[in-house]
Each structure stands twice: as C-alpha cells, then as structure tokens.
Structure 1
Amino acid sequence: MRQVKDVRLGDHVCLAFAHEAEQRAVAGAFVSAGLDRGERVMYFTDDPAPDGVRDWLAEAGVDVSGAVASGRLEVLTAADSYLGPGRFDPDLMIALLRTTVGDSLAAGFAGLRVTGEMSWALRELPGAERLEDYERRVTGLFAEGDSAALCQYDARRFPAHRLTGLRCCHPGEVRMDDLADGERLRVTPSYEPGGELVLRLRGTIDRNTAPAWHAVLDHAAGAGGDVWVDLSELEFIDVAGTRALARAAGRMSDGHRLRVRHASAALRKVLRLTGWDGATGLSIEGGLPPVTRP
C-alpha cells in the first residue's frame, strides 16, 4: 500500500475507496501529479458525468480549463472508453491504450497517465465479466514504463469477494498521502463509509514532532465533520501533545467532535486529572476511568 504521491510511470495500482472524499483526494492527487510531470492524463468516469469530474478537479486546485484546452487532460465517460464498442473487450481496450501511449509520446508528452472508475462493471453489460482478465493482462502494458494507471473501485458497491480478487489483479494499491510522514511521527488519513475522516497515528508525539502534530490537528479541526483519531499504534504522547488534542477538539465546528480511539491508560489518566476530558468537542471511545483520591 503506497501513498499516491509515489506512483510513477510503469505502475498499475488499485484504489478501493470507502467514500467520495477519499476517492477525490487520491484521484485528484494522481491527476495533478501527472500534469505537473508533463504527462498526458485521461480520466474515465462512470459517475458523475465529465462536467462533474472537471468541477471537483478545479475545486481541488487543478487548472482544468488550461489542461483541457492544451490537450493535457481529457475526461471521458465509461461509454466512450471501456465500453466504446458497446461492450467491454479487454483486447480492444489494451490495444486502444497502447495506441494512445504511442500517440502521447509522439506528441511530446512524458507519458500517459490513466485513471478510471470501474463501477460500470457491476451492471449487466456485455463483457463486464471479463474485467479481472483485463486487469491481469493490462499490467504488462503499464510495466513497459511509458504509462501508469489508477483503477478506482468503490468498496461500498463491489461484493467483498470480487473486490478482493480485483485488488489481487493489481501489482500494488494506493492510499491518501500521509499528513505527517517523518521518521518519528506518521499520520495516515482515510475515510469511513459514512464520510468521517480517520487519522491513524504511528510513532511519538513530543517536542520534536509538535509542529507536525499541530498541523495535523489544524487539518482535523477544519475537516468539516466528525474526525476519528486512532492511537492504536502510537507509542507515546506527552502532556503538551495531549493539551493540543483537547484544544483542537474545542475548535471543531458545528457541533462536530474529535473522537479518540484506542487511547492508552496513561493518556486517559492525564485527560482526567487535568480536566481536559471536559473539552468541548472531545470524545474518548470507552470513556475515562474515575479519579481515585487517597
């Protein structure tokens, strides 16, 4: 499982997303990186229509108008790409991609970057049952090093057994970029199916990692919904880091909460003794132990 920022030409990766916010974060970063590197980018959408994709890419900071006008970005429907002949034919699709790679290189692009939403395969369309065969075989084309692909699968819609098989058809998988990726602290974001942001922490929170921790908390406070903070892999958090957590909870807007999972006994005790457990917007899964007095 790699961060999307690490995807390069030659890669064929899968994104199994739980919510549109996760999908857009990864796909938007994939598109933006390709444009920045001088690659031609093609986006095959199933839902919404191309105008909808162009709109949210623009909201994410992509110069959509300029990229489309210059031919660097093209957004097509599944009907105009995967299902162009009126059915899904792996041989025709691979041949089309190979031709497009050659055309892109001849036009002066550094390569071709393709991303596609694959939910069309869940409809009873001719050839849809051949998707797994296509995903296995097309890897060879991307492995030649002149193109890359990000295949998007909605984990809420694909049956679990089929999604597992499709993921195995790809040499790799991607996720959202880390919010902090230092040696001492790593914070990996993801989304729950209901749209809640989840921040998974690994490492330590102390004075050395305080700037990164404060930046993460600023992101959480501005996320616009409830945020889960998963501490199951956090080794240590100092008192200053705990205070920052409580203060960030107080900045949550519109009644949203900062919800902490897997808080250690030590952290729970500090929150209780300091009174920070009463911070507006803070919720500790499992509650806190009572204060014992001598």
Structure 2
Amino acid sequence: MVRQVRDVRPGDHLYAAFSHENEQREVVTAFVGDGLESGERVLCLTDDPAGERVRRWLGSAGIDTAAATRTGRLTLRSSEDGYLPSGRFDVDATIAMLRREVDSCLGAGFTGFRVSGEMGWALRGAPGTELLDTYERRVTALFDEGLSAAICQYDTRLFPSGRLDALVGCHHGGVQANALFHDGRLRITPGSDPSGAPLLRVAGIVDQDNTAALRTALEALLRDGPDDDVRLDMAGLEFIDVAGLRDLASTAALLPPGRRLRVLNLAPMLGEVVRLVGWDRTPGLILDLEAVPA
C-alpha cells in the first residue's frame, strides 16, 4: 500500500521509490517538515556528504535548517557516516545506532524520532551491503515499537527492478508526495517523469462527483508548469466517465500550437472509448496506451 507523506505515523517503516530528484524532494521536505512541526527529532542520511542538497530543498519549503540544526531538532549526516562508519555495512551496528537515536531523542523531550535515508550507498560495493535485505527486515522491529518512523529512499534508475522489488517488500508499505486531491475514490498526485518533467498521477475513479477536481488540477498544471507538454499518468486509473474524458479533450483543445496533453498509461479499453466518441482527433491530445498483456 502506498500512502501520502502526511499520513506517516510513528511505527511506520516505509519506502519511497522515485525516478527523479523532484519526486524525492517532495517526499523528503514534507516528511522532515511534518516531523519538526510535531515536535519530533529528525535525522536525514543523505548521499550528498555535505548535505547541501537537502538543505536547499528544506530552505525552499520555508524550513529554517540552521535553527533546527542548532537546537538539535534536525541532524543531517552523510549516508557513509550513518550506514558505513567502519567502511563496511554492519546490520547489528546500524540497528543499534538507530536505537540510540530513538532513546536519546525521547530522553531529550522530543515527541518521537524520524529518520530518512538515501539508499544509493548500497550499490557502491562496500563489504556487507549484500545484507541490506536482512537489515530492512530486521530493523522493522525497531519501528514496530511505535516510537519512530522511517522512509528509505530508493532511486528506481539505480536499483535493478528485481533487487528493488525484494527491498521494498521488506517495508510496511510505500509513501509518495501528498495528493492535490483525495476523496477516497480519486487521488491526484504531483510527480515527475524520469526526465524531471512534471506530471499528474491520476488513480481511482473519475466521475461526475469529482471531475471538477481533475479539471482544477489540469488548469493549475497548465498555469504553473513549464511551457511544454502537459503529462497525465493514468496507470492507476480504474474508470473515467464521459465528463472526465470531455475535460481531457477540452484541455487539449485549449493548448497553444506545439504544446500537447499527453495521457500516459491509459488502459486500452478507456482509449477505445475516447476513439468511439472521436476525441482522439482533438488537436494536441496524445494517447499513450498501456501495453496489452501477452
């Protein structure tokens, strides 16, 4: 199950799988910001040794990293210092380090502990990294105590798919950026494609009760996004009614020449509906249908 960052609670051991830094930034800044606001202590383990990239992200989100660091509410530490202090990955030592962090922050009066770690270090061949799966399974017990929460960040461009599937399976679930709209049936979430171009991920059901939310999200992306193609990833879409399809066609028709609305991963059955009503001929509307299973 994939949840929003705002829904992370003590006891969670989650993964964030991202294909571009923009997606990673959205998750990390929300996770850190929520933790600081709720009185928790936050540890960020980053593949940027100086932590400047994360500081920049947090600063752009209005977080005073200097003050948070000075008061001990926020610690930025390199992944190597956190996971490989001896030059090798030691499962027991890493779990013991995290337990000390939990005990220390509770003793200092914080309401809890959050840790966010980039996991790219595990692909650099250090001794012991073959035990990462073991670590991810075992460390879950620490978070199950309900005093701390973690997000492990996995770059899908770096980790082979089979390896990534095994690792994310060691977590309670996944996490993604907070949704722009979520009514229990439809979820619209900002994201990025592998090139970093912004897109909207549309999952669930679009019907007369919530099609206005999709239209509003599209208008915002048109207004605030870059002046290139507008992208909708509909891999998670279960159903869209005629009103929703009409909004897609209407949006595409309003685009200036050279700019297109690209509908990605639309189920073939839904694409056929678009064709039947003739909206596939709308200038500027590009349908990228998902592959039919063999």
Q: Does the Cα contact within 8 Å between 2:186 and 2:202 map onto a contact in 1?
A: no
Q: What is residue 291 of structure 1 aligned with on the other side? A: none
SS at match of 2:150: strand
How far apart in 1 are the matches of 2:19 and 2:111?
32
Shift of 1:113: 0.1
How far apart in 1 are the matches of 2:84 and 2:259?
43
Structure 1 72/247 Cα, relative in aligned 2: closer, same or farther at 3 Å? farther
Structure 1 124/266 Cα, relative in aligned 2: closer, same or farther at 3 Å? closer
Q: Does the Cα contact within 8 Å between 1:181 and 1:187 map onto a contact in 2?
A: yes
How far apart in 2 are the matches of 1:24 and 1:103?
27
* Pairing 1:65-214 to 2, within 5 Å after superposition: 65-196=66-197, 197-206=199-208, 208-214=209-215
Q: Does the Cα contact within 8 Å between 1:205 and 1:213 map onto a contact in 2?
A: no
Q: What is residue 51 of structure 1 aligned with on the other side? A: 52
Structure 1 125/251 Cα, relative in aligned 2: closer, same or farther at 3 Å? farther
TM superposition score normalised by structure 2: 0.84
TM superposition score normalised by structure 1: 0.84
**How many corresponding residue pairs?**
280
Identity %: 45
Counterpart pick for 2:248 among 245, 248, 252: 245
RMSD: 2.7
Q: Does the Cα contact within 8 Å between 2:249 and 2:279 map onto a contact in 1?
A: no
Shift of 1:227: 3.5
How far apart in 2 are the matches of 1:154 and 1:256?
29
How far apart in 2 are the matches of 1:129 and 1:190?
31
> Is 1:235 aligned to residue 236 of structure 2?
no
Between structure 1 and structure 2, the one with the greater Rg is: 1
Q: Does the Cα contact within 8 Å between 1:19 and 1:191 map onto a contact in 2?
A: yes
- Which amino acid is 2:44 matched to? Y
SS at match of 1:161: helix
Q: Which piece of structure 1 moves more, 182-191 or 32-41? A: 182-191
Q: What is residue 287 of structure 2 aligned with on the other side? A: 284
Unpaired runs of 5+ in structure 1? 287-294
Shift of 1:96: 1.1
How far apart in 2 are the matches of 1:48 and 1:80?
9
Structure 1 19/231 Cα, relative in aligned 2: closer, same or farther at 3 Å? closer
Counterpart pick for 2:225 among 220, 223, 226: 223
- Which amino acid is 1:135 matched to? E
Unpaired runs of 5+ in structure 2? 290-294
Shift of 1:199: 2.1
How far apart in 1 are the matches of 2:15 and 2:257?
35
How far apart in 2 are the matches of 1:2 and 1:97?
24
